[in-house]
Structure 1
Amino acid sequence: MTNIIYGDTSGTLFCEQVGGDQTLIGPSATSIYETVVTQIYGDAQAMQDFARGGNDFIIGGSATNLSEQIYGDAYVMSGLSQGGNDSIFGGRTHGYNHPVVYGDAFEMHDNAKAGGDWIVGNDANVYGDAFTMDGGTIGGNDCIMGSSTDTSLYGDASALKDHAQGGNDLIWVTAGTSLVQIFGDGALSGFARGGNDRIIGPDDSASCVIRGDGRMSDNAVGGDDVIVAGAHSNNQIWGDGERTGSDTVGGSDTFVFAPGIAQNRIMDFEQGKDHIDLTAFAAQGVHDLGDLNIRSGNITLPGGTSYTGSLIGFGTDSYIALVGVEHPAGSDFIFA
């Protein structure tokens, strides 16, 4: 049996209707053998016209076998509808599977605008605004915290199309979280624009992929993101995603590192646009390019991965690899 919970109506909010500020709590299992299937909608099944969602407080359920989807506002938002500023806590599954949190809706169309949500993922995969955004939709400025292994966190949506615009999101992941993928924005196509996001990676992560923006095509423009690498972590970092065609424009991204870093690969560093912030290394005597241990050319990393570019070493198994950049310049860095 599926538990379906609506904050306001199982139908549509339309015209200038406004959803209430609700507290909604998903059901939890009464035994370890019980399967819980739940859908929670903060406001309605759909929102259109000038409808506005309420500022809801939503808590997901808990079960060993939990199939749960939380929509902060509705399944579909269209017209000039606007999501509320929701606080959402994803469900807990004890590591067996992952519920999903959508800060606003599954789909956003036309000129719908997402709210500024505060989301704690727990064991959930998180989409700060929606699964897909198209038309002239605008993402909210969300705060998202992840804490579960083998999850994906998106500041806005998995795909932004047409003239969709991502919000300026803050995403951070707690220590010890591995096999996590973090996207400030998902795939950008058409004339979509990524938001200016700040992403803080987890400490002590065996594997973390951080992307300021996802794959880019057509006339997409990436955001100006700040990505902070976690300590003692194996990080693959992209300021912008893989790019198709010559009309995409990457953002001006900043990659921040501090003592205690482990294995870090920057996959798409753009000289003259991106920067590597090493101000935290000032106490270790790093103040300019001459203080860095840099190797260039064909590099083989521990474990056998090879690439052409450069390697900035900070000790055994502590490095920043710049894939495709053989001659880093002083202007590529920020020093103290």
Structure 2
Amino acid sequence: MKSPSPAISPQQLEHHRAALTGHCYRMLGSATDADDAVQETMVRAWRGLERFDGRAALRTWLYRIATNVCLDALAHRARRERPVSDGPAGTVHDELVECPRSHWLEPIHDPRALPADGDPVERALMRQSIRLAFVASLQHLPPRQRAVLLLRDVLGWSAREVAEGLDISVAAANSALQRARATMAERGVGADTEPAPESLTAAQTELLERYVDAFHRYDVDALTALLREDAVLSMPPYTLWLQGPEAIATWFLGRGIGCRGSRLVPTAACGAPGFGQYRVGPPGEPHQAWSLVVLELAGDRIAAMTHFLDTETHFPRFGLPLRLPLRLPLRPPPGLSSP
């Protein structure tokens, strides 16, 4: 067996890790699975460098390998869900039913999924395509349709490139794309809708400041005043989700009472503002990690609040400690700076 070509170094492969992680996350709906898929992609690429003839760009070749790694993985896994698509809205009186972590869509830290290079338009498209709503809708596509849509509409490949990459005909690639676009349109999302800018607007920056202030004071009236009338609250791994400011306020004042006194540390998740939430610890102990909060904004209102409660998995991936002895000031989430 020939040794790997010296023309390409491990560092050159590593340069594409963030882009590949974002692609695998869109395909799989899991940051954990995406990391595994990228690692397998790197192994396959290194072992197969003698077959890389340079006719395509290195990144394109790696995307082709990563896509097929994901398709192999999806052949043995059920799709991941969000509570809002897993059943009807509930009430504060409903029993809390828990599903295993493998059942749920996971959040991803923006820097892990967005390449640092690329022009602003490309980065905006990449950021849009890791939004929770978009990735969740992707999971409802058959795996091959999912791959075709991402390669065409997110990465901008031609039908011929997609056909070669997936070893299908151009006609089959075009047909899969048409069906995938139709399904996504039915779900009200698309890669080219509501571009995700690099910066928050002034109104959104103010919105986040008001959200943090209200949460720290645990002023539920002020907090729910920031929500849209159809806003939703969900808390994976629980199936329960609530809709509307009244139901959400009742939750915070009742079963969510343990959140009083929490502290929020900003981050950036799934192309959106996020926070590590820390609840009050036992007497004499620091605040304890409780949830990773992802806010989905619609203009100057909050459309959705997702509290991911699996802190042992998510906080380390976001570089957040599990114990918070200090009160840290609000600052713009990384990758989403003030204008």
Q: TM-score, normalised by structure 2?
A: 0.22
The answer to which structure, 1 or 2, has the higher relative contact order (CA under 8 A, 6+ apart) is 2
Q: TM-score, normalised by structure 1?
A: 0.22
